[in-house]
Amino acid sequence: MAEQQLKGRIVKALSGYYYVRPDEITSAGHDIQCRARGVFKKRGLSPLVGDHVIYSLTENGEGVVDELLPRRTELVRPPVANVDLAVLVFSVTEPALNLQLLDKFLVHIEHAEIRPVLCLSKSDLEHEGSQSIEAKAAADKVRELYTSIGYEVLGTSSRHSEGIDQLLSRLQGHVAVFAGQSGVGKSSLLNAIVPGLALETNVISNKLGRGKHTTRHVELIDVGGAYVADTPGFSQLDFQELGIEDLGYGFIEMRELAPKCKFRGCTHVHEPGCAVLEGIEKGTVAKSRHSHYLQFLEEMKEKKRRY
């Protein structure tokens, strides 16, 4: 008798096992613990959390992943497939807003062709303590700058349940990844979205200005009409998988202006007739964004020289 081919999605990967959630409710009524067929290794493929798969059940009630269905998107770090929304979480204060890191995330997310949403967490801290005036000014500046470029910017406070319903509504129908500076409250936000989830959270070290990673494996969390990937170590980004020519693409205002540059393949550094440099003079391209672009360009060239 032929094995029954079933469809599902990998929602967790841990210690060599893949946990597949069936597309159709089965009599088992739970995720199926699966191994992957050896053929994937031979082909240089590896199943990822988020993959749509075809699997079959074994006699002991476990399963085998037989086939990976085509991926819409694929992130290298964290290793997640079919993500179509990236919620970039940056706190208003504690730790301080790091716009260079935010732009770095955006470059990677744009390159992966995933829609980003900026989420300013801990918005209650804008109104508390001696840092409140500076924090509010910084948050307003971020909202104004990134909204003008075309990004969605949401404000949330897990402590006061502010903006949680709006964020939950934005997630509907998507597979989303939460990413951002370490210690910004990603786990607290997820706990606020899904009461009872009780993800481990960590106290910020003021001395270091960052939090310790609390998430230990990649897992898709069902938030009712959406999946969220809770991911470890996503605050450490480099440009190894990006080419220098991909960098300008990651800055959407530069991507739009590039065709108007005098020279094809313009690096937007010093070329005459560069539409991006003209945009900076006119104030339509933010100096801070271009400054980060130049820093990333130097970082990539330095990496290239080392390898």
Q: Is 34 annotated as a binding residue?
A: no
Known binding residue 183? Answer is yes
CA distance 296 to 107: 10
Would the annotation count 61 as a binding residue?
no
Q: Is residue 188 a known part of a binding site? A: yes
| 163 annotated as belonging to a binding site for a ligand | no
Determine whether the annotation assigns residue 131 to a binding site: no
Long-range pairs for 30-39 at CB < 8 Å and ≥24 separation? 32/8, 32/57, 32/62, 32/63, 33/62, 33/63, 34/62, 34/63, 34/64, 34/65, 35/62, 35/63, 35/64, 35/65, 36/64, 36/65, 37/64, 37/65, 37/66
- As a dihedral over the C-alpha atoms of residue 199, residue 203, residue 208, residue 210, rounded to 10 degrees, the angle is 30
Q: Is 273 annotated as a binding residue?
A: no
Cβ atoms of 268 and 122 closer than 8 Å: no
268 is in an annotated binding site: yes
Query: Is 243 labelled a binding residue?
Result: no
State the Cα–Cα distance between residues 256 and 289, nearest whole angstrom: 14
Asked if residue 223 belongs to a known ligand binding site, the reply is no
Number of helices and strands (H, E) in the chain?
9, 13
Tokens found for residue 55: 């699997």
91 is in an annotated binding site: no
Q: Cα separation of 20 and 220, whole Å?
A: 11
Question: Is 184 a known ligand-binding residue?
Answer: yes
**Residue 301 counted as an annotated binding residue:** no
Q: Are 226 and 172 in contact (CB under 8 A)?
A: yes
Residue stretches of the annotated binding site for GTP: 121-124, 180-188
Binding-site residues, in ranges, read 121-124, 180-188, 261, 266, 268, 274
Annotated binding site for Zn(2+): 261, 266, 268, 274
